[in-house]
Amino acid sequence: MAKKTRVILVGIGGATCSGKTTLAKHLKRILPNSVIIHQDDFAPPQELVPMHPVHNVQDWDAAPGAISWPRMISFLRQVKETGEIPPDHHSHDHLNEQKDIPISPEERDRWVAVFERLMRQRAADGGEDIVWGLVDGFLLYWSPEVIEQLDVRIYLRVPHDVLRQRRHERHGYHTAVQSDPEGTLWRDPPLYWEQIVYPAYVDASRDVFEAGDVERGAPSGKVAGLVLLESLEMSMGDAVSQSCKVISGFLEDA
């Protein structure tokens, strides 16, 4: 019988521009057999994104309409059941430009060695092979059915003013359209972040924190085992290390 493969899903949540993709890419370089799953790829095609009822622009951020939830949930369930990330999973993220925030090679190599050792040990014990799914999402802890699929739950928290600044420095997002596989480039209309993005983030995230305080509240318990990283108060190397600590801890118990 073929050896079984187990998929472990590591959630990396937080607001738009909190650094999720940057962290996910560092972890991908460390974890053997890892794949990034971008929640943005489960957005509806641009033609189907709802209009905001007050501001009269398309609303890519309000949780109920921003993601095709049944599609994302069944994708995650299927990945877990089959032990494979389907090869037809097509992402637009490679088109998005990104500034690298490096970590030291020594720090990276140290974690690479830790995971190599853990995997060798696991193979010697006859454990299943592991595939890592790094699930990067701005609405990752909204749906209980999504939360349930995530084995490790990391949250990057960054203050309001820094999020706004980073978003304004961003040129746009490559998004899906029905007619074109390469998609199209979305640019924010004026005040889009202030009127649409941030209010939708607060709405979707308030339950995750005590007293609904997304800026300062402690985790409320909605997301069991949430690992909250205040990413501005640490270096990228520390964020990577803290994530690897939690992930390796999970692997040792798995």
Ligand X SMILES: Nc1ncnc2c1ncn2[C@@H]1O[C@H](COP(=O)(O)OP(=O)(O)O)[C@@H](O)[C@H]1O
In the complex, the smallest distance separating the C-beta of residue 107 from Mg ion, rounded to whole angstroms, is 22
Query: Taking CB under 6 A as the rule, does residue 231 contact ligand X?
Result: yes
* 3-state secondary structure (DSSP) of residue 176: strand
Among 31, 236, 240, 244, binds ligand X (CB under 6 A): 236
**x/- contact string, 152-181, with ligand X (CB under 6 A)?**
--------------x---------------
How many CA atoms, within 13 angstroms, populate the side-chain half-sphere of residue 27? 32
Query: Taking CB under 6 A as the rule, does residue 243 contact ligand X?
Result: no
Among 9, 13, 16, 151, binds ligand X (CB under 6 A): 16
Q: Which is nearer to ligand X, 182 or 230 (CB)?
A: 230
Residue 243 touches which of ligand X, Mg ion, none (Cβ within 5-8 Å per kind): none
In the complex, the smallest distance separating the C-beta of residue 136 from Mg ion, rounded to whole angstroms, is 6
Contact criterion met (CB below 8 Å) for 119 and 195: no
Residues 226, 214: Cα–Cα separation, whole Å: 14
**Strands laid side by side in the 152-157 sheet:** 34-38, 129-137, 5-14, 152-157, 227-230
**122: nearest Cα among 3, 10, 245, 1:** 3
- Both structure tokens of 119: 């995997």
- Residue number with the shortest CB distance to Mg ion? 21
Strand-pair category, 227-230 with 152-157: parallel
Interactions with ligand X, residue window 85-114 (CB under 6 A): 98-99, 101
Contacting residues toward ligand X, per CB under 6 A: 14, 16-22, 98-99, 101, 166, 231, 236
